[in-house]
Amino acid sequence: MTDTDLLGTLSADESRRLRAARPGVELADRPMLATLSDRRDFPGGWIFERKLDGVRVLAVRENGRVLLLSRTGRRLNDTYPEIVEALEEQSCTDFTVDGEIVAFAHGRTDFARLQQRMGLTRRREIEASGVAVTYYLFDLLRLDGADTTQLPLRTRKSLLRRALAFRTPLRMSTHRNAGGSELLAEACAHGWEGLIAKRADSRYQPRRSPDWLKLKCSQGQEFVVAGFTEPAGSRVGLGALLLGYYDGDRLRYAGKVGTGFDHRTLAALRERLDELRASASPFADRVREPRTHWAQPELVAQIEFTEWTRDGMLRHPRFLGLRNDKSARDVVRERPAALRR
């Protein structure tokens, strides 16, 4: 079935929601984002997808070429050439899709393993890394020149499933039609990061929306790296990273992280932070750490932790890797939102 035939299967009401699509790069400029939530009771009308531990990537095929874009608009074709090739081989020639690129370790998505691919752009280095990636697709923004963002989510996912051929390294992100606390407990028992709950009739909105909710198994989010401490003993590179998040224009201090690093990562982080040296603390709060070096707040790290302390510090944080798909100024403290039931 051709792309046009697929659009022809829509109901009259759905067809009226279609409109001429803007260029693919413009349509992919602002992805829809999920809101952190502690909600566990869901009525009908929601679907539940696995929360993947990877990097958000939107893909555009238009005018004979494929373009992979990070959520901040960075071009990623050279980093994931096997994804580009898989999309170039599709019989469908005009689409914009949304998804997540992941790497697996021991049967689970592993951000630390994906980190080994994120900075590579030469084919020889990519092949030598031994890190295979998979692109899980979960939404369709454009098809055959038509903007599909106003269609219900269920309809978009149905079009996506039929428009593309899902062979390695492409996968369709499956979903469950019912869920809540029991489904989240099951996901956590399997070692997943959590679930994404989505309103089945929701439109695709270029913003953070309560129609998509993040249900997490454990605490974790991105933080800005704005300094480090000197290593002690036989440790190399650095002792700990100094972390923060933005509260308006102020960079608030959230504590330090000194675990989750290997020898190579410590050395590489020290080299990058030395290039970002700052003469004064970027933090709005006082940092009481000895042997401290400041850095321009440009690097973003993914951190796992158990909880926030009463004074706003991270408890038992662990470094998972650097992110290049999010701007430092977009890093804020994630709080479960008060949502309508």
Top-confidence residue, 340 or 76? 76
pLDDT tens across 45-63, in order? Answer: 999 999 998 999 999 999 9
pLDDT tens across 305-321, in order? Answer: 988 998 999 989 999 99
**Full DSSP string of 140-200:** EEEETTEE-TTS-HHHHHHHHHHHS---TTEEE--EESS-SHHHHHHHHHTT--EEEEEET
* Per-residue model confidence (pLDDT) at position 279: 94
What's this model's pTM, rounded to 2 decimal places? 0.79
* Per-residue model confidence (pLDDT) at position 123: 93
Domains along the sequence of the chain with CATH: 3-34+55-175 (3.30.470.30), 219-330 (2.40.50.140)
pLDDT tens across 85-134, in order? Answer: 999 999 999 999 999 999 998 888 888 899 889 989 999 999 999 999 99
pLDDT at 4 over 60: no
Q: How far is CA 300 from CA 28, 108, 180, 218, in A?
A: 22, 23, 31, 19
Percent of the chain topping pLDDT 70:
97
256 is catalytic: no
The catalytically annotated residue of 51, 157, 214, 216 is: 51
Q: If 0-12 CB within 10 Å is exposed, 13-18 middle and 19+ buried, where does residue 29 land?
A: middle
